[in-house]
Amino acid sequence: MQLSTHFDLFEFELDGPMPEAVVPTYQKQCQLQLEPIRTQFGQPVVITSGYRSPAANAAAHGVSNSQHEATPIYCASDFRVKGMETNLRPVFDWIRENSELPFDQVILEHDPQAGTDIIHISWSAAFNRRMALEGETANQDAYQNWPAAQASA
């Protein structure tokens, strides 16, 4: 099932099938966040994690009540932009500084062992705090609020 022009439902079900009630929430995320990111950078956006059941979220070291445990009100995805896997800072900076994207959280996560980055982004129908954070993948280290993260980088 197509969620938008460039995104299919199966990309967001890497950790198992999502409930039918949250499919429209992921459609909104694709339309309002992921398609504009793809357009801005001219490269495919590769989903590394979308919907997670509570058990899958725990296995991924996700925080309790993670927005990956989507509801009809909010959802979250982790992604990479093809060709930029080792440095997603330009994407992170564009999202938080220059874009008009509605987002609740955007987190630039670094995997020091693999030398790669991912971005976590969440969408909410109820609130969009535009909170920007930075840290290590899988909550290996506490996230820092941005721009405080820049000072320590």
Correct CATH for 9-152 of 3.50.50.60, 3.30.1380.10, 1.20.1440.130, 3.90.1300.10: 3.30.1380.10
Q: Give the pLDDT score at 128.
A: 87
112-150 pLDDT, tens digit per residue, is 888 899 999 999 999 889 999 998 765 555 556 665 444
Q: How many CB atoms lie within 10 A of CB 104?
A: 19
How far apart, in Å, do the first and last CA atoms of the chain sit?
Answer: 41
99 vs 26, higher pLDDT: 26
Q: Give the pLDDT score at 60.
A: 85
CA–CA separation, 94 vs 106, rounded Å? 11
67-112 pLDDT, tens digit per residue, is 999 999 999 999 999 999 999 999 999 999 977 899 999 999 988 8
Residue 32 neighbours by CB under 8 Å, 6+ apart: 101, 102, 123
CA–CA separation, 83 vs 85, rounded Å? 6
Query: Can you give the residue ranges of every domain in the chain?
Result: 9-152
Q: Give the pLDDT score at 45.
A: 98
